Amino acid sequence: MFVLISAPILRLSDPMKKLLTIALLLATTSSLFAQQSDKYKREAETVTDYIQEKFYDSKSGVYYKTTKHERLDWVWLQSVMFANLAAAARIEPEKYGDKLDAYFKALDGYWDDKAEIPGYEPGLTKGNGHDKYYDDNAWLAIAFVEAYETNKDARYLKRADATQTFVLSGWDDEIGGGIWWHERHKDGTKNTCANGPAAVGCLVLAEHEPQKSAALIQKARDIVAWTNSALQDDDGLFDDRKVVATGEIKRGKLTYNSALMLRANLGLYKATGEKAYLDEAIRIGKAADWFLDENTGVYRDALRYCHFMIEADLELYAETGDTHYLKRAQHNVDELYARWEANRPDDMMSSACLARVLWLMSEVEVK
């Protein structure tokens, strides 16, 4: 709503006029973004409720992979839906808090507490499995910390800690360090997709476990240092994995690899105050324009990968105030939602990824 300024105002000094103009512009911008935030919240709710309707299995308490309901989804795909519900429950606790809690309990179907170091199997398990992926577990550890921050339920933090313990057990000194992709060394590689989220997991846990904080921050330093030396390209972005036996780097850059390393650097900056980490996060953020389609300005990767970069964009914007990252995230979210409305995907994860970033966009504060 705009109000005409009466004549006496016009007699104000030029500096006063400028201040008044700026105040009006800020008020208008704030109002417009509040409307945008409401839009993102409505869209997030639409997508989340669609997932609940089309993919939820009331018997198991988890989600099907596709609308055909032929089988339940793998645990790393379930982890994205859990992160989505954690964000939803933070914003709409009365509607989604119980759903988050029920889902947390249902994920016990994937939890192998009979293993020497417990962790999540990719599918439902009876225990003593040997098919655990360190990256699957890293995503869940991060999401459980977020759930804990939502309602301070100690069960989430306890499970996050146990899950992160499994993740860090994947580190050894072959090729100078790094976390393996798979507990039985399937593929023989150490991957950015395991090391990036492992570092982030250390840092988010460190905020809530003061007795372990120093050790977790140091471990995050070690993981980031190794991943930088082993898998970072000259442009700042990250390749996929390194073959331990030969030292060969498997080339190919995906948004989620660079996104988690960006977040890890941001986390280390916040934990240590060392500006070099912030500078590195900004370098990765700028380099990520490479992932954008030159015609659409949308990340080229599938939603299962690029939603992580949108989240990293929002974190980098929150830290720096650089609107380039906000605009990049906003453009992607708007276009991806339009595509979703036009043709709703058959798989659960694509919708969960979109809903997750819509919830996050609804929380953004414009600087």
pLDDT tens digit sequence for 131-147: 999 999 999 999 999 99
Q: Any idea what the Cα angle at residue 81 is, between residues 85 and 131, rounded to 5°?
A: 135
Asked, for residue 241, whether it belongs to a domain, the answer is no
Residue from 334, 322, 333, 332 nearest 367 by CA: 322
pLDDT at 2 over 70: no
- Per-residue confidence (pLDDT) for residue 16, from 0 to 100: 53
> pLDDT-derived band of residue 36, with 50, 70 and 90 as boundaries?
confident
- Per-residue confidence (pLDDT) for residue 25, from 0 to 100: 41
pLDDT at 28 over 60: no
- Separation of alpha carbons 142 and 204, rounded Å: 7
Residue from 164, 35, 143 nearest 89 by CA: 143
pLDDT at 182 over 80: yes
- Separation of alpha carbons 358 and 310, rounded Å: 10
- 3 state DSSP class of 171: strand
Q: In what order do the strands lie in the sheet with 241-243?
A: 189-191, 241-243, 249-250
- In percent, how much of the chain has pLDDT > 70? 90
- In percent, how much of the chain has pLDDT > 90? 89
Structural domain span for residue 308: 36-72+292-367
Count of structural domains within the chain:
1
Helix H, strand E, coil C: the string for 31-76 is HHHHHHHHHHHHHHHHHHHHHHHHHECCCCCCEECECCCCCECCHH
* Residue 277: partners with Cβ closer than 8 Å, 6 or more residues away: 265, 266, 268, 269
Asked, for residue 121, whether it belongs to a domain, the answer is no
Burial of 25 (0-12, 13-18, 19+ CB in 10 A): exposed
Q: Specify the residue for token string 């947390």.
A: 104
CA distances from 243 to 12, 229, 247, 306 (A): 70, 14, 5, 25
Asked, for residue 106, whether it belongs to a domain, the answer is no
Asked, for residue 29, whether it belongs to a domain, the answer is no
Asked, for residue 16, whether it belongs to a domain, the answer is no
Residue from 159, 138, 164 nearest 148 by CA: 159
- Per-residue confidence (pLDDT) for residue 365, from 0 to 100: 80
**Mean pLDDT (the chain, rounded):** 92
- Per-residue confidence (pLDDT) for residue 11, from 0 to 100: 43
- Separation of alpha carbons 133 and 112, rounded Å: 12
Asked, for residue 298, whether it belongs to a domain, the answer is yes
Asked, for residue 361, whether it belongs to a domain, the answer is yes
pLDDT at 222 over 50: yes
Asked, for residue 323, whether it belongs to a domain, the answer is yes
CB count, 10 Å around CB of 34? 11
